[in-house]
Structure 1
Amino acid sequence: MLIHHPLRPTAGIAARIVAFGLTVVAGAITPAASPGETPAEKQQAGGPSVLVKADSNSPSETTGDETYLLRHKLNSNQKIRYEVTHVAKTKTRINGTEEIANVHTTSVRSWDVREVQPTEMTFDHQIESVSMTQKNGDQDEVRWDSVSGEQPPKIFSVVAEQIGKPLATVTINQKGDEIRRESHAGSKASLGMGALTLSLPAEPVSIGTKWTVPSEIQARTDDGLVKVIKIRQVYTLKKVKTGVATIDVKSETLTPITEESIKAQVVQQLSNGSIRFDIDNGYLLGKELNWDETVVGFQGAGSMMEYRARMTEELVANDTPTGGDTQSAKADSDAKQR
């Protein structure tokens, strides 16, 4: 889960660049927009994946033309839990005035599988716990841990109200495409964290094969209008070892961006990193995404934004009877490879 907090409003666009209100991503929690307001981080649901020819020069720990069918596989009454850590530093400078925002969040999210059909799987997605720290400029640091029993600071109250409750009931197919979603709280916003599920190719793939998933994100222009930016997520199967696939992911913008103010918003919503997927058991083992972006002139010649962030997501031991031992063993085995 990613907690994204706003800087103090030193200037309108500067505040929007860092965040448009308190947003929890991967947990998919976000407060409702003000009346008539469209959240700038809104990301539209992606379309079907498109297969791209394999790169024959891609390094591999496997040989030959072996192919792999990547599919999600869930079991009824199974619970899959992940620990998500997000660390971010955002620096803005406008006409000589500099401000720095630091955020550190660790959370545990889970999929509680309700029903499994031959071609569909339905699960409840929820946040079980969260520990949050933020510091904006020269303001005092704010901390809160949901397991402490203490009342949360006001800025974390939206998150606190939704911990332990289903955020959404989601039905996916074996490729990870969302068939249905009943949202109980929050939105689909992702801010570069990727969709709730990993989109997999329709056909078996070999090492070096790429597949793409189209998507859209939104940003605000200087005059307050919403601009739709078309992007695509490019996935590449880099290697397979002991049943674990390593997949690189990188976002590409398809819509030309000429305004630096738009670019400053968009760069935080793109993905760049790697994913580990358990081919045998059909679920995500881990993910790491990194951001290192600088935008000059987002609000005139005397302005600059630097955004440095890292997000990791790791499978944790399942404490339910179904699938727990298998998950723990695979996670331990995979950890020893790295």
Structure 2
Amino acid sequence: MTPLLLAALSLAPLADPAGAAGPEYLLRYKFEPETSLRHEIVTTVTIDSVSQGAPQLVQNAGKTVQRMDVLPLPADAAEGTAGVLRVHSEKVKLSAQFDAQPPTSYDSEKDEPVVGGYEQVDAVAKAPLGELTVSDLGQVTHAVSLLPGMENLAPEEAADVYKDLFPRLPEERVAVGQSWVQTLKVRVQEGKLAKPWTLRRRSTLTKVENGVATIVVKITPLPPPTEPSFEEQLAMKCPAGLLEFDIETGRILTLRAEVDAEIVGFRGPGSLLKLKSLHYQKLIESGPTETLVPAKTASSDTAEIR
């Protein structure tokens, strides 16, 4: 499953009143039981590098369709629970190319032998991926993996897999011009050791038009890395993004996240790395779910897992 680049962060958002003016809006995710949401997700990643005089170019692309079925909400669901979702993979199309070599590809819609190392992808294509309990702020509070061989994954680990699915919303009402800030702890490798690093995610409500909120997102490492090896590891964790959110229905309409980074000296003198990535997601269909099954998540003793 393609990870979303807009990281959902671990601490509650703090509203920044600077620049606020006009009406205030309460932003909350909403999920109506017995409905389904279908999203199309397009991703591209280009890694263009030169190290010790040898150029390399890696290009990856993907187009997937995912469906989220909203299951009945248990009576004992925790306060602030927006819904219980079963996430399905419906279509998967991938391609990869290394330098001038012939590209490899995979298309779940084609009845062809699977080649090029896509066997693991084929095993989960057109299959349920997991069941998630999601708060109205976008936090995945509990999850059950439905992937083959991962059914016994601990709830905390399963929830961590899907923590990026819904960008976090502010706890308080916000006006156009206001920002909310979150922090995230990530790790980078320093030799054989893992070193903690702090990221700051600033989201700003820039516009509300016809009931659709436009939110601009920027993720910044604190402190900014000065060593190329750290720059390389942190670049893909710090996209700039834009989110269009339907306030009344509580749905993501579109989500876009991009990385465009150039790192000098990432492999010593004379080396250069250029990273470009795009993640674009859009809601393409919603409506009643044809067939529902009982939810497996959101019991009262697990709904508060963080």
Q: Fold conserved (TM > 0.5)?
A: yes
Q: Which residue is equivalent to 1:286?
A: 254
Which residue number in structure 2 is paired with residue 47 of structure 1? 11
Answer yes or no: is the 8 Å Cα contact 2:35–2:70 preserved in 1.
yes
Select the residue among 244, 250, 262 that pairs with 2:218. Answer: 250
Q: Which runs of 5+ in 2 are unaligned?
A: 151-157, 291-306
Name the structure 2 match of 1:166.
128
Q: What is the letter of the counterpart of residue 274 of structure 1?
A: L
**Given the two structures, how large is their TM-score scaled by the length of structure 1?**
0.75
What is the percent sequence identity of the aligned residues? 24
Q: Deviations over 1:167-190 (max 9, x none)?
A: 222112211122212234486468
More helix by share: 1
Residue type of the partner of 1:229?
W
After TM superposition, the score normalised by the length of structure 2 is: 0.82
Alignment of 1:216-295 (within 5 A): 216-221=185-190, 223-295=191-263
Contact 1:44 1:217 (8 Å CA) reproduced: no
Alpha-carbon separation, structure 1, partners of 2:4 and 2:67: 10
User: 2:38 aligned with 1:81, yes or no?
Assistant: yes
1:91 equivalent to 2:53? Answer: no
TM-fit CA distance, 1:68: 0.6
2:113 aligns with one of 151, 160, 164: 151
SS class of match (1:129):
strand
CA distance in 1, matches of 2:54, 2:126: 41
Contact 1:54 1:206 in 2 (8 A): no
Asked whether the equivalents of residues 134 and 141 of structure 1 are also in contact (C-alpha less than 8 Å), the reply is yes
Tell me the C-alpha RMSD between the 2 structures: 2.3
Aligned position for 1:203? 172
The structure-2 alpha-carbon separation of the partners of 1:183 and 1:258, relative to structure 1 and needing over 3 Å to count, comes to farther
Aligned pair in 2 of structure 1 residues 152, 25: CA closer, same or farther (>3 Å)? farther
d(CA) in 1 for partners of 2:208 and 2:183? 25
Three-state SS of the structure 2 residue aligned to 1:147 is coil
**What amino acid is the match of 1:203?**
E
Which runs of no fewer than 5 residues in structure 1 stay unpaired? 2-23, 28-42, 57-63, 323-338
2:278 to 290, 293, 310: 310
Q: Distance in 2 between matches of 1:45 and 1:159?
A: 27
What's the offset of the Cα at 1:218? 2.4
Tell me the equivalent position of 2:80.
119
Q: 1:105 to 1:263 in 2, by over 3 A?
A: same
Q: CA deviation at 1:151?
A: 2.6
Taking a change above 3 Å as real, the CA distance of residues 49 and 151 of structure 1, as seen in their structure-2 partners, is farther
Q: Structure 2 vs 1, CA of residues 49 and 161 (structure 1 numbering), >3 Å: closer, same or farther? A: same
Listed one character per residue, the Cα deviations across residues 123-158 of structure 1 (whole Å, up to 9, x for unaligned) are: 112321111111012322111111112232242222
Larger CA deviation: 259-268 vs 93-102: 259-268
